[in-house]
Structure 1
Amino acid sequence: MKNIYKLLVAGAILLSASMSYAQDESNRWSIAVGINAIDLYPVGEKDAGLGDYFDEFFNVDHYNIMTVPSRFEVGYYVGDGIVATGAFSVNSIDTVGDTKVDDLSYYSLGGGLRYNLAELWSGGEVFNPYLGAGGSYQWLDDEGFGTFNGTFGFDVKLMDNVYANIQTSYKHAFEDNLPKHWQHTAGLKFTWGAVDTDGDGIVDSKDACPTVAGLEKFMGCPDSDNDGIEDSKDGCPNDFGPAETNGCPDRDGDKVLDKDDKCPDTPGVVALMGCPDADGDGVADADDKCPNEAGPVARQGCPVKDRDNDGVEDAMDKCPDVKGIAELQGCPRPVMPTKEVQAQLNEYAKTILFDTAKASIKAQSAATLADITAILKKYPEAKFTIEGHTDSRGSAKYNERLSDDRALSVKEYLVKNGIDEFRLSSKGYGEANPVTSNSTKAGRAQNRRVEINLVK
């Protein structure tokens, strides 16, 4: 009979299944009742005639089994997968490995912490393995000693709040002359103590909204407007609406939801946030001074007179009979110089001559400046910048000042000869922008120049 019990214990230790939580926020308290087996052999003491760690670990002939309920454990779920435990067990020792000894009474009282491994993968419905650590005090006949304990076990769900419990613990004595040993246990565990903070009948560990009463079909989350869409997914959690519009109503059926509809009881257009526009001019009827006659927004929906159809009403159009652009008050954009004209300007500009190391223009440049003036007068709307450049001789500061003065001299000359000064600006860049190398006389001559460029 004893060997049958030993085989049952060994078979239970080898049992494996899927995943679950035997004890968590749903069941904070537990009590386990079962049998236990003490094995003093595979404890790493070969010199003492015992085996290495785990040697013949499943040899049930080495087990001292107390077949009646002989181990009792109370557990409390602390949180984050951790359970605090306290346990008491009793046994009778008559076997040490293959050696028979006189019967020795065995009592153990201890406690510790264990961690539900299923916490790592969010658990399941059948099986919960755990690891634990703690300590206990044993009495072997009249001798008492303490041990540090490491535990592995698992719970297998049989029914709600009832689990089969299998566990093995290695108990390491604090002193070398005291017996190290394994304690294997098998039994039943009963759990209770579910927490339901919001009182909706769904325990907190299974309640997605544990502090707000809700419905079972939404894992404890509420549906305030009873439209079949839980509040967290409902665009209008307090207004009944269909799933097609994410729980939001549209009373006037104009495809603009009431929460966005400025005219929720009158069908309107999406572009005007649900308000009507009888004449289709893009101005809501409530804001349209001519609701039955199309007109632009700028005139509050009333039509305008625009002879040249350029979008600028005649009253504001400085060129009412010539199609133009709004930014020029209805007049056409002025003609600007082409790239070829721009190139010609700079061909002229680079031939402007100055007195050596001065900003004064030489008299022989008068003809060139006359040609430049003529071109600028052809484009009265165009604006230009006059840019001065030097070669690299002299200091950078001096060259910048000289180029700035020369550019200004050209500007002043052109203004005196009829060019509006507001069309012209000038700036000197000194030696910063050479067009060729300054290492030769010819190169330096090319770098000493004036450019006249269109302001775009």
Structure 2
Amino acid sequence: MKHLSRFLLVTILVLGCTTVQAQDENNPWVIGIGVNAVDSYPANEDSPFNGFFETDHYNILPSVSRISVARYIGAGFSGELAGSINRIDNIDGVSVDDLTYYSVDLTGLYGFRNLINEDGWFDPYLGVGPGYTWLDEEGNFTVNGTLGFNFWFTDNIAFNIQTTYKHTMDDQSEGGFRHFQHVAGFKIAFGGTDTDGDGIYDDEDECPEVAGLKEFNGCPDSDGDGIPDKDDACPDQAGPAEFNGCPDSDGDGIADPQDECPNVAGEMALKGCPDADGDGIKDSADDCPNEAGPSANNGCPWPDSDGDGVLDKDDQCPDVAGTTANNGCPEVTVEVINELNEYSKTILFDLGKSSIREESYPALTSIAEIMNEYPQTVFHIEGHTDSQGSDALNLRLSKERAASVKNFLVEQDGIDASRITSEGYGESRPIATNKTAAGRQQNRRVEVSLEKNREK
């Protein structure tokens, strides 16, 4: 009864202990049951490490005599706690009275299966760790080294053989002896975590938090299009693989998430939107969807309000027909200049002054009206005198009279000042002889010309 109680204590310790470290979650726990054989003969001083397979000095209890529990830690490492019982009648090849043998061993194991073949059946391992052995009432600490092999029939069941050398810390004490313990039995792996309950262990489940399908490694396919949600750009809408699981509602070859007009077939260049007039502007942004036009005018063609062949956007006179050469504005002809000068001939000044006489006002108004017909044209006002008087006086007077005409047209008739220039030329440009009164009268004049034709 005393021996049985001691074995039950070992059993409770083995089944109740776990390692601190966690591991990958596919069957992390392994329970082992088997038969052990204790052999001190190869380990004694007279026969050091010889006669391993000479079973006549084995000590074997013909029943289940060893149990173990192991927990996988990670990277091929695991920790194992084992308890054994045996009857010893042979030590170092010498018969002894039946002694009861108990041991508790804690072993760190490293398996080579992943290095050989991760899914293979052959699983060799090495181990090292401390232990404690009793012979009857006497106990002794041991340092253990283990070599073993698991032969996996399935993912969960393996046949196991191993041998452990137990080196006693105190060989002189009663109950202390160096020995080998050979084990044969079975191991059962269990305890894999399946968080989402889909029947696929978390370490093999690519979507461990969401129940899924085995063919998709545990990931769901919510829309049933054959593409798992994790790879499906539209997991709630069925679509083909070519569009990463997204639909193409309008059949234009552009998946709905990238299609700005998903319900109307369109063009790739316009992100799936149509362009009825082919002007490169999608219909929804085209103010004239059935008439081609540039984007600068929101898809509508530019108008030509005055019909002169110059589009309004380029026409500086969009409401008056002109010429292309003059940016859509009418050009001043020789006839127009002549008409202006017919009026300018009637402009009269006070004697020796630049002040304009009142009877000249209608002529100036007529000049302004003609100028307004050519809003983009810059006119030049010229002042001239006869040869009477000094050159300096004549030059000053001509400048002042030309400026006086300009100021009148700007201030009284509203002509933009930037459209009129003025200059006086004194007596330098006569158009008739200064020897007669009639000739001098013709030379005292104001003329209108084009600034672009002005002689610099």
- Structure 1 range deviating more: 166-175 or 267-276: 166-175
Partner of 2:221: 223
Partner of 1:169: 164
Where in structure 2 are the equivalents of 1:262-281 lying within 5 Å? 262-281=260-279
Which of 86, 94, 100 is matched with 1:100 structurally?
94
Answer yes or no: is the 8 Å Cα contact 1:24–1:81 preserved in 2.
no
Partner of 2:46: 49
Partner of 2:32: 32
**1:245 matches 2:243:** yes
By how many angstroms is 1:91 displaced? 2.5
What is the TM-score normalised by the length of structure 1?
A: 0.56
Which of 109, 113, 126 is matched with 1:118 structurally?
113
By how many angstroms is 1:121 displaced? 7.1
| Cα separation, 2, equivalents of 1:62 and 1:303 | 109
| Cα separation, 1, equivalents of 2:230 and 2:200 | 18
By how many angstroms is 1:274 displaced? 0.8
User: Cα RMSD between the aligned structures?
Assistant: 3.1
**1:209 matches 2:203:** no
| Cα separation, 1, equivalents of 2:69 and 2:287 | 82
Partner of 2:185: 187
By how many angstroms is 1:111 displaced? 2.6
CA separation of 1:93 and 1:321: change in aligned 2, threshold 3 A? farther
Which of 291, 295, 298 is matched with 1:297 structurally?
295
By how many angstroms is 1:131 displaced? 3.0
* Per-residue deviation, residues 56-88 of structure 1 (Å, max 9, x unmatched): 544545543334322122334455654443222
By how many angstroms is 1:116 displaced? 3.8
Specify the code of the residue in structure 1 equivalent to 2:213.
Answer: L
* Per-residue deviation, residues 350-391 of structure 1 (Å, max 9, x unmatched): xxxxxxxxxxxxxxxxxxxxxxxxxxxxxxxxxxxxxxxxxx
**1:90 matches 2:90:** no
Answer yes or no: is the 8 Å Cα contact 1:200–1:214 preserved in 2.
yes
Q: Tell me, what secondary structure is at the counterpart of 1:259?
A: helix
Specify the code of the residue in structure 1 equivalent to 2:25.
Answer: E
**1:127 matches 2:125:** no
Where in structure 2 are the equivalents of 1:64-75 lying within 5 Å? 64-75=59-70
| Cα separation, 2, equivalents of 1:172 and 1:68 | 25
Q: Tell me, what secondary structure is at the counterpart of 1:239?
A: coil
Structure 2: 5+ residue stretches without partners? 1-22, 305-309, 317-322, 326-456
Answer yes or no: is the 8 Å Cα contact 2:302–2:313 preserved in 1.
no
State which structure, 1 or 2, has the greater radius of gyration over its C-alpha atoms: 2
Q: Tell me, what secondary structure is at the counterpart of 2:64?
A: strand
By how many angstroms is 1:297 displaced? 1.7
What is the TM-score normalised by the length of structure 2?
A: 0.56
| Cα separation, 2, equivalents of 1:31 and 1:96 | 30
* Per-residue deviation, residues 174-208 of structure 1 (Å, max 9, x unmatched): 12544222211010123333321111122223222
Specify the code of the residue in structure 1 equivalent to 2:232.
Answer: D
Answer yes or no: is the 8 Å Cα contact 2:26–2:191 preserved in 1.
yes
CA separation of 1:303 and 1:169: change in aligned 2, threshold 3 A? same
Q: Tell me, what secondary structure is at the counterpart of 1:128?
A: strand
Q: Tell me, what secondary structure is at the counterpart of 2:313?
A: helix
Structure 1: 5+ residue stretches without partners? 1-22, 307-311, 323-456
Answer yes or no: is the 8 Å Cα contact 1:104–1:140 preserved in 2.
no
Q: Tell me, what secondary structure is at the counterpart of 1:205?
A: helix
Specify the code of the residue in structure 2 equivalent to 1:64.
Answer: N
| Cα separation, 2, equivalents of 1:195 and 1:315 | 74
CA separation of 1:282 and 1:207: change in aligned 2, threshold 3 A? same
CA separation of 1:287 and 1:51: change in aligned 2, threshold 3 A? same
Q: Tell me, what secondary structure is at the counterpart of 2:108?
A: strand
| Cα separation, 1, equivalents of 2:126 and 2:237 | 50
- Structure 1 range deviating more: 23-32 or 261-270: 23-32
| Cα separation, 1, equivalents of 2:116 and 2:237 | 38
| Cα separation, 1, equivalents of 2:264 and 2:324 | 43
| Cα separation, 2, equivalents of 1:60 and 1:204 | 45
Answer yes or no: is the 8 Å Cα contact 1:42–1:56 preserved in 2.
yes
| Cα separation, 2, equivalents of 1:122 and 1:196 | 24
Specify the code of the residue in structure 2 equivalent to 1:39.
Answer: D
By how many angstroms is 1:315 displaced? 3.4
By how many angstroms is 1:314 displaced? 7.2
Answer yes or no: is the 8 Å Cα contact 1:225–1:239 preserved in 2.
yes
Partner of 1:145: 140
CA separation of 1:313 and 1:150: change in aligned 2, threshold 3 A? farther
| Cα separation, 2, equivalents of 1:167 and 1:209 | 38
Q: Tell me, what secondary structure is at the counterpart of 1:315?
A: coil
